[in-house]
Amino acid sequence: MKELIIKNSKIRLIQGDITELGTDVIVNAANAQLIMGGGVAGAIRRKGGSKIQEECDKINCTFVGGAVITTGGNLKAKYVIHAVGPRMGEGDEDNKLRNATLNSLKLMDKHHLKTISFPAISTGIFGYPIERCAKIMISTAKEYLSGITNIEEITFCLYSNSDFQIFAAELK
């Protein structure tokens, strides 16, 4: 595990399964239609139960770069923030990933939540390069924590050791 303290908050990196974490919120790398199919979303749906998808269905959709919040269902996390990252090749991907991260953090403060765990958004089926993802997500988290926030901890939960090492190199 790697950590960085910023003001009264912490950024930490862990390798593991995001669906097993007990932070207030885990982030789902969502699609704009909020349909929880495969990858991280599928794992969250399987472990969290149908209530999460039912709440997504009521919200209906959001935009690329947007984020919405639902219950955590049967997960250890109380809530799931569904953040929509970019698909490689659609244009303005870096800004869209930054907005997905930033909008997730803004939802945390809006709902008075303290701890959040992110996956490497858009790096799976959406084809976004992991190195660029690490750079953008970590710099956005550092910048946000440097401002006025009640967030105590941002965790980046990386599934593979290679992804963890790329995020660790970026956190230094």
Angle at 52 between CA 80 and CA 43, to 5 degrees: 75
Taking a C-beta distance cutoff of 8 angstroms, is the pair 69, 110 a contact? no
pTM: 0.96
Taking a C-beta distance cutoff of 8 angstroms, is the pair 82, 40 a contact? no
**What integer pLDDT is reported at residue 40 of this predicted model?**
85
How far apart are the C-alpha atoms of 88 and 99, rounded to whole Å? Answer: 15
Nearest Cα residue to 24 out of 124, 115, 110, 104: 115
* pLDDT above 90: residue 172: no
CATH of range 2-171; options 3.30.2230.10, 3.40.190.10, 1.10.10.10, 3.40.220.10: 3.40.220.10
When computed from its CA atoms, the radius of gyration of the chain, rounded to whole angstroms, is 14
Model confidence pLDDT, tens digit, residues 36-77: 988 889 999 999 999 999 999 999 999 999 999 999 999 999
